[in-house]
């Protein structure tokens, strides 16, 4: 009886969230696409009257000299810059504070995020702290707690997965509790994004696959949730189609610029979709895999996605069928039931074809209740999922992830 009442309350909140997201006219960043598009960013920075920026990236990208072109272009446009490259794979509160210190010391007026989801999320949080100096990262945890708009944020993703270049979220790790959490606010949306496939050609196949499946997870969870609308559905369908058509091929041939560009667009479309329609339990569980064990977010999403789809299949049957048709693996004359099963099998096959495991080896049995507790707390009621999950059900799914 209590659980039934709780679910009714959650659904009422989902209904309110859907109305709110329709009323809010979320901006999209100015978009540059194609080979070499990242080199246009410094000119745009200068055109906005910004003469000093903080570049947020990581040490691997610095060692690969991927930022050389950006740095040269900044110099050509007489834009001074400081570089913060200490972002960890799962950005921490300390990363944010260290980046903030450099931002303030350099008297920066804008931020360029260069890299995957981690540098972009860290850059968003640095920006939030810069204009909200009395509000700690933890105080801004959750929905709509960033009081002032962040400094102009320019994003250059080097992976096709997170969609962070267009989202309202920044995911940060608390090293004290080993918990990942999201800061979610419209003020975090970047003002410019450059999708440059030339920056992605050197990605190792395993990064290509996991980030690509991360993008698919965004599209799927946005589509099958209860807060979608025409705009989010169209973007999720476009993303799914592009991922089905390009991901496995670019996994095999990472030098294919056309397919790299298509995957960058897919990630962006999926980002537009889930920013407005939300995500689900795949993310709730994956965040805790990253927080407790350091499992890369895209990989965790890829592994968990089929299990959540099986859990939600009956409640999401019609929508999964719609995605199967949009993805080109089914036709409208087939039954929704058949198409929904086929979609799940397609996800499993993609994982298998790209060497993504069906389990997460880091999971400790003793941690399962804690993971489930945190995942359910994160998901309920904030995530507008097609089927609401309790802790016992969540524990059952996590057990399926054991090696």
Does this model's pTM top 0.85? yes
Residues 52, 194, single domain; the answer is: yes
Whether pLDDT at 20 is above 90: no
Whether pLDDT at 241 is above 90: yes
Peptide bond into 297 cis (omega under 30): no
379 — pLDDT class (breaks 50, 70, 90): very high
Percent share of the chain, pLDDT over 90: 90
Q: Is residue 206 part of a domain?
A: no
If you write DSSP's letter for every residue of 106-148 in order, what string do you get? TT-SEEEEEESHHHHHHHHHHHHHHH-TTS-TTTT-EES---S
If you write DSSP's letter for every residue of 6-65 in order, what string do you get? HHHHHHHHHHHHHHHHHHS-----EEEESTTGGGGHHHHHHHTT--EEEEE-BHHHHHTT
Q: Is residue 39 part of a domain?
A: yes
14-18, 289-293, 319-323 — which one is most confidently predicted on average? 319-323
* pLDDT value of position 270: 98
Q: What is the per-residue pLDDT across 175-203, written as a single tens digit (0 to 9) for each?
A: 889 888 999 999 999 999 999 999 999 89
* pLDDT value of position 267: 98
Task: Kindly report the average pLDDT of the chain as a whole number.
Answer: 95
Residues 232, 181, single domain; the answer is: no
Q: Supply the range of the domain harboring residue 277.
A: 2-23+213-400
The last residue of one of the domains, among 199, 221, 255, is: 199
**Residue 176's CB: how many other CB atoms inside 10 A?**
9
Average pLDDT over residues 304-308: 98
CATH, residue 129: 3.40.50.1970
Residues 169, 234, single domain; the answer is: no
Residues 295, 385, single domain; the answer is: yes
Q: How many domains does the chain have?
A: 2
Q: Is residue 208 part of a domain?
A: no
Whether pLDDT at 282 is above 90: yes
Q: Is residue 43 part of a domain?
A: yes
With beta carbons less than 8 A apart as the criterion, state whether 207 and 160 touch: no
Whether pLDDT at 9 is above 90: no
CATH, residue 390: 1.20.1090.10
Residues 9, 135, single domain; the answer is: no
Nearest CA-CA partner of 252 in 286, 222, 315, 209: 209
Q: What is the per-residue pLDDT across 294-304, written as a single tens digit (0 to 9) for each?
A: 999 999 999 99
Residues 142, 277, single domain; the answer is: no
The last residue of one of the domains, among 165, 199, 233, is: 199
Residues 189, 44, single domain; the answer is: yes
Tokens standing for 287?
Answer: 């965040």
Average pLDDT over residues 349-358: 98
Residues 312, 372, single domain; the answer is: yes
The last residue of one of the domains, among 169, 199, 229, is: 199
Whether pLDDT at 1 is above 80: no
Tokens standing for 238?
Answer: 């476009």
Average pLDDT over residues 311-319: 98
Residues 8, 49, single domain; the answer is: no
Q: Is residue 29 part of a domain?
A: no
Q: Is residue 269 part of a domain?
A: yes
Q: How far apart are CA 96 and CA 87, in angstroms?
A: 8
Q: Is residue 171 part of a domain?
A: yes
Q: How many helices (H) and strands (E) does the chain have?
A: 15, 9
Residues 178, 265, single domain; the answer is: no
Lowest mean pLDDT among 22-31, 120-129, 199-208, 382-391: 22-31
Estimate the crossing angle of helix 317-326 against helix 205-224, to 10 degrees: 130
Residues 376, 312, single domain; the answer is: yes
Q: Is residue 389 part of a domain?
A: yes
Residues 148, 19, single domain; the answer is: no
Q: State the sign of the Cα–Cα–Cα–Cα dihedral 291, 295, 301, 304.
A: negative
């Amino acid at each position: 009886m209590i659980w039934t009442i709780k679910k009714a309350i959650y659904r009422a909140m989902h209904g309110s969230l859907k109305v709110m997201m329709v009323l809010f006219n979320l901006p999209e960043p100015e978009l540059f696409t194609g080979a070499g598009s990242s080199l246009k960013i410094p000119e745009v920075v200068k055109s906005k009257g910004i003469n000093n920026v903080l570049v947020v990236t990581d040490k691997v990208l610095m060692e690969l000299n991927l930022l050389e072109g950006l740095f040269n272009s900044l110099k050509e446009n007489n834009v001074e810059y400081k570089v913060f490259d200490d972002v960890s794979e799962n950005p921490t509160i300390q990363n944010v504070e260290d980046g903030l210190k450099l931002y303030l010391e350099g008297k920066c007026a804008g931020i360029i995020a260069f890299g995957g989801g981690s540098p972009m999320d860290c850059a968003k949080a640095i920006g939030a702290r810069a204009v909200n100096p009395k509000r700690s990262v933890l105080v801004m945890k959750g929905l709509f707690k960033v009081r002032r708009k962040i400094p102009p944020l320019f994003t250059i993703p080097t992976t096709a997965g997170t969609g962070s270049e267009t989202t309202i979220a920044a995911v940060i790790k608390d090293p004290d509790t080993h918990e990942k959490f999201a800061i979610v606010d419209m003020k975090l949306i970047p003002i410019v994004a450059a999708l440059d496939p030339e920056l992605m050609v050197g990605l190792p196949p395993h990064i290509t696959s996991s980030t690509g499946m991360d993008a698919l997870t965004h599209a799927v969870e946005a589509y099958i949730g209860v807060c979608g609308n025409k705009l989010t559905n169209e973007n999720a369908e476009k993303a799914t189609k592009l991922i089905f058509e390009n991901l496995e091929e670019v996994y095999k041939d990472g030098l294919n610029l056309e397919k790299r560009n298509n995957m960058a667009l897919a990630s962006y479309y999926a980002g537009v979709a889930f920013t407005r329609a939300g995500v689900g339990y795949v993310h709730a569980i994956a965040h805790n895999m990253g927080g407790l064990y350091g499992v890369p977010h895209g990989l965790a999403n890829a592994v968990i996605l089929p299990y959540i789809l099986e859990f939600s299949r009956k409640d999401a049957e019609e929508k999964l069928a719609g995605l199967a048709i949009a993805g080109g693996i089914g036709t409208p004359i087939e039954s929704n039931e058949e198409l929904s099963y086929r979609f799940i099998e397609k996800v499993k096959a993609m994982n298998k074809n790209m060497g993504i495991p069906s389990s997460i080896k880091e999971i400790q049995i003793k941690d399962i209740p804690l993971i489930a507790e945190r995942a359910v707390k994160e998901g309920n009621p904030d995530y507008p999922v097609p089927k609401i999950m309790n802790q016992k059900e969540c524990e059952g799914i996590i057990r399926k992830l054991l090696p």
